[in-house]
Amino acid sequence: MLKRRTASFLVLLLLVSVRASTAQRAFAGFDRNDYPGDAALPVLRQTFGYTGYWLNNPPGEHANSWSGKRALLKRYGFGFLVLFNGRIDAGLKGRDAAQLGAADGKAAVAEALREGFARDVWIFLDQEEGGRLLPEQADYIFAWIDAVRAAGARAGVYCSGIEVHDEGGVISTAEDIAARENEQAKNLSKEKNAERLALWIANDACPPAPGCVPARPPSMDALPADVRRFASVWQYAMSPRRMEFSAACPKNDAPDGNCYAPGLPQGANSFVDLDTASSPDPSEDH
């Protein structure tokens, strides 16, 4: 009887161990358009394991304050979300979108190497506009992806995971890109098919997002199943808070609607967007 109980107990321990090993661990990160300043890094590192890192000018900016900061961030132990600002639809209409995408993909890899990132680093294209992709947007994005891969790096896209209604039904940008990638993968060789596309999904609606909780990043498992296979990062809170999507979220502590990094005075250099990932270095900058 004792032997049977012991065996049963060992089996139970094994099952618990297997379940624990397959549960996805969540790592906290942040991103913002402006570099937060050298002095803020030790405090930010207490909460966050990785940071967004722009390769070119962020949306609406005329300069890139992240340029040249990789080595310092690395010394403090940060991992990276390497990001390249893509073109909005107004800049694609009436032009050869695929040609622009190819040129921007090459430029993204060249800039990543110039900043000291690894040749095979994951680079995310910032697709700011949500909803179903227009034809020129799709041409631009997938030409960018092909160019990044051809240059030896790995490709990802930052895009909206919030569903919208259009004449084709209900869809999010992330779902649209995932479906297109699945369709393209059918025509690729096994070697090419291994080059998985990574999505950095923006969804600050509660649920699935928990709101502005920097130290308690949610699991990626909360994302919809049809995009989870491609999901590498989830941006779950933004600054300032977008009330049209996050009205059901718990109220931010700050009255201005921003989400602030713990331990820093609230101001222009300390508000952040919050990210969660299953890796402490989502861009795998070896």
CATH number for the domain spanning 162: value is: 3.20.20.80
Compute CA distances 142 → 124, 155, 192, whole Å: 12, 10, 14
What is the residue range of 167's domain? 43-277
Q: What is the spatial distance between Cα 30 and Cα 41, in angstroms, rounded to a whole number?
A: 12
For residue 23, pLDDT beyond 80: no
- Would you say residue 102 lies in a domain? yes
- Would you say residue 230 lies in a domain? yes
Tell me if residue 92 falls in helix, strand or coil. Answer: coil
The predicted structure's pLDDT at residue 148: 97
For residue 286, pLDDT beyond 80: no
Helices (H), the chain: 2-22, 41-47, 70-75, 97-114, 135-150, 173-185, 190-193, 225-228, 243-246
The predicted structure's pLDDT at residue 184: 78
For residue 260, pLDDT beyond 90: yes
**Mean pLDDT, all residues of the chain:** 89
- Would you say residue 160 lies in a domain? yes
- Would you say residue 1 lies in a domain? no
pLDDT tens-place string over residues 118-133: 999 999 999 999 999 9
- Would you say residue 60 lies in a domain? yes
Confidence category of residue 224, pLDDT binned at 50, 70, 90: confident
- Would you say residue 124 lies in a domain? yes
Q: What is the spatial distance between Cα 126 and Cα 200, in angstroms, rounded to a whole number?
A: 9
Q: What is the spatial distance between Cα 148 and Cα 174, in angstroms, rounded to a whole number?
A: 19
- Would you say residue 6 lies in a domain? no
Confidence category of residue 196, pLDDT binned at 50, 70, 90: confident
Q: What is the mean pLDDT of residues 217-242?
A: 92
- pTM attached to this predicted model: 0.89
| Residue 68 Ramachandran class (φ > 0 left, ψ -120 to 50 alpha, else beta) | left
- Would you say residue 282 lies in a domain? no
Total domains present in the chain? 1
Regarding predicted confidence, which is higher, 257 or 193?
257
The predicted structure's pLDDT at residue 189: 53
